[in-house]
Amino acid sequence: MKRWRPGITAKLFFAIFGTCLLVLILMHQAVRISFERGFIDYIKHGNEQRLSQLSDALAEQYSVHGDWSFLRHNDRFLFRLLRSFEHDPNSEMPPHGWRTQFWVTDGNFRRLVGPPGHIPPDGASQPVLVGGKTVGWVVSSPVERLTRSTDINFDRQQKRTSWLIVGLSILLAAGATLPLARGLLKPVKKLVDGTHKLAAGDFTTRIPVGQDELGRLANDFNQLASTLEKNQQMRRAFMADISHELRTPLAVLRGELEAIQDGVRNFTPETVSSLQVEVATLTKLVDDLHQLSLSDKGALAYQMKPLDIVALLEVAAGVFKQRFRSRELSLRLALPEQVTLPGDADRLLQLFTNLLENSLRYTDAGGELKVSGTLHGRNFVLNFADSAPGVTDEQLDKLFERFYRTEGSRNRASGGSGLGLAICQNIVHAHGGTIEATHSPSGGVCIRVELPLDPDLQRSQSV
């Protein structure tokens, strides 16, 4: 038989209901104790007053008769005397003011009137004084022993009423606790349902956001779902872009090889060169994809040590000077003499190479690239600003996306893989820096790289 396991709604219900039940029982007991003590104190105080009145009245009668002969075995006389206190001398019923049994004894505690049996030694007593001498005693049973039926019935009725109130309160608590538990857990159930949908691949799932802690959790859930949805879209676009990028050179290679195979084209050095160009394009794309995947998951080896970043940048620029000249482009450097910061020389050289390659491919002939560097607080800022053509504001925000195609002159017609800036972004982030694209003053694009300086070496920097 399968064991029943309560859900969170049942657990919350039992927790709240159990607390209410415990509070009700404790309150009931406290009220009962308070009532009983107050009721007994009330009876005790009344009996003490009546004992005192009876003692005074008996002392008066004793003074008149001279002894207890008027009272001995004369219960009716005593009742009339007691009834006179309540202005009803004709009634032979016990007076209503007395809540307990009582006896009248002589000075030697011999019973004169009262119920037969033993006189309780722990009862309340009041002496009957005549001329300063104790001639008798008025004794009542202990107040805690309720003897009159009206008192007993009243006490029982109070107990029944008290338990009835407790029972009705328990039913009311149960009726109020169940919808309360369901209401409190309604946002949690929505989160659970949303999580199931999210796990099933429905990243469009969203949950209403409240103002409490669960509302903040729902907001985090929506952000997670939004991120997953965006990542899914980017993954699909990434796969589509990869297939497109691979399809073009492969189609060219296949066409060239089929033409040679069918005898349409001769196998000449020019044909081999054409094939080599397409193979080189494929090789570059695969290499960039490999580098990007390694940098994404942090698998690239970074050996951080202090280095002169200005000297490293000058080396990279020296390699590109001839290529810039061949494209009728000028390359100008405006850098400090020396800036030392912690970094990986190979990865930073790859960063500078990609940025220089990017400007070389996408800058019109006759233009220029200006590389400037300044110290800004605890950071070193590099700007790679080239000339026309430029891009729109919307395109600036997407330049670091993989395989992003810009409309106009700055597109992939120049042979780039479209992954260079994405790799640059990963390298910069691995060095604790930031990279962004802005409009260049000369009409093109400015790539701004900000790298942190080594705090121990910063004091020795000189511009």
* pLDDT tens digits, one per residue of 420-438: 787 788 889 888 999 999 9
Residues 319, 430 within the same domain: yes
Residues 265, 142 within the same domain: no
CATH for 241: 1.10.287.130
Residues 272, 219 within the same domain: yes
Please state, in angstroms and rounded to a whole number, the distance separating the CA atoms of residues 332 and 330. Answer: 6
DSSP string spanning 416-446?
--S-HHHHHHHHHHHTT-EEEEEE-TTEEEE
- Which pLDDT score, from 0 to 100, does residue 280 have? 75
Residues 323, 278 within the same domain: no
Query: Strand order in 434-439's β-sheet?
Result: 330-334, 368-376, 379-387, 443-452, 434-439
Please state, in angstroms and rounded to a whole number, the distance separating the CA atoms of residues 313 and 379. Answer: 16
- Which pLDDT score, from 0 to 100, does residue 335 have? 93
- Which pLDDT score, from 0 to 100, does residue 462 have? 39
Please state, in angstroms and rounded to a whole number, the distance separating the CA atoms of residues 250 and 256. Answer: 10
Cis preceding-peptide flag for 142 (omega within 30 of 0)? no
Residue 176 belongs to a domain: no
Q: Mean per-residue pLDDT for 235-239? A: 69
CA distances from 160 to 79, 96, 157, 165, 383 (A): 34, 24, 5, 9, 89
Greatest mean pLDDT range, 7-16, 81-90, 337-346, 398-407: 337-346
CATH for 411: 3.30.565.10
Residues 271, 320 within the same domain: no
- Percent of the chain past pLDDT 90, that is, above it, reads 15
Domains in the chain, number: 3
Residue 383 belongs to a domain: yes
| Residue 233 token pair | 């879209």
pLDDT of residue 234 exceeding 80, the answer is no
Q: With the CA atoms of 262, 263, 268 and 270 taken in that order, what torsion angle do they form, in degrees rounded to the nearest 10?
A: -70
Residue 180 belongs to a domain: no
Please state, in angstroms and rounded to a whole number, the distance separating the CA atoms of residues 77 and 113. Answer: 10
Residues 450, 312 within the same domain: yes
Least confident among 171-185, 214-228, 314-328: 171-185
| Residue 200 token pair | 């099933």
Residue 160 belongs to a domain: no
| SS percent in the chain: helix, strand, coil, step 5 | 55, 15, 30
User: Of 126, 149, 172, which one is at a domain's C-terminal end?
Assistant: 149
- Which pLDDT score, from 0 to 100, does residue 331 have? 93
Residues 12, 63 within the same domain: yes
User: Of 271, 296, 321, which one is at a domain's C-terminal end?
Assistant: 296
User: Of 268, 296, 324, which one is at a domain's C-terminal end?
Assistant: 296
Backbone angles phi, psi at 103, to 5 degrees: -135, 155
- Which pLDDT score, from 0 to 100, does residue 39 have? 67
Q: Mean per-residue pLDDT for 305-312? A: 92
- Which pLDDT score, from 0 to 100, does residue 92 have? 42
pLDDT of residue 27 exceeding 90, the answer is no
Residue 162 belongs to a domain: no
Please state, in angstroms and rounded to a whole number, the distance separating the CA atoms of residues 266 and 405. Answer: 36
- Which pLDDT score, from 0 to 100, does residue 36 have? 67
Residues 251, 347 within the same domain: no
Tokens 């159990």 label which residue? 18
Query: Of 46 and 4, which is predicted with more confidence?
Result: 46
pLDDT of residue 83 exceeding 80, the answer is no
SS3 160: helix
Residues 141, 266 within the same domain: no
Residues 129, 250 within the same domain: no
- Which pLDDT score, from 0 to 100, does residue 411 have? 46
Residues 454, 316 within the same domain: yes
- Which pLDDT score, from 0 to 100, does residue 29 have? 75
Residues 246, 320 within the same domain: no
Residue 181 belongs to a domain: no
Least confident among 16-25, 52-61, 138-147, 198-207: 138-147
pLDDT of residue 417 exceeding 80, the answer is no
- Which pLDDT score, from 0 to 100, does residue 413 have? 44
Mark 265-275 as b/e (b = at least 16 C-beta within 10 Å). beeeeeeeeeb
Backbone angles phi, psi at 110, to 5 degrees: -90, 130
Residue 343 belongs to a domain: yes
Residue 283 belongs to a domain: yes
Question: With contact defined as beta carbons under 8 Å apart, do 104 and 112 qualify?
Answer: yes
Beta-strand (E) ranges in 20-158?
Answer: 102-106, 111-113, 124-130, 133-140
Q: Could you tell me the residue range of the domain that residue 90 belongs to?
A: 8-149
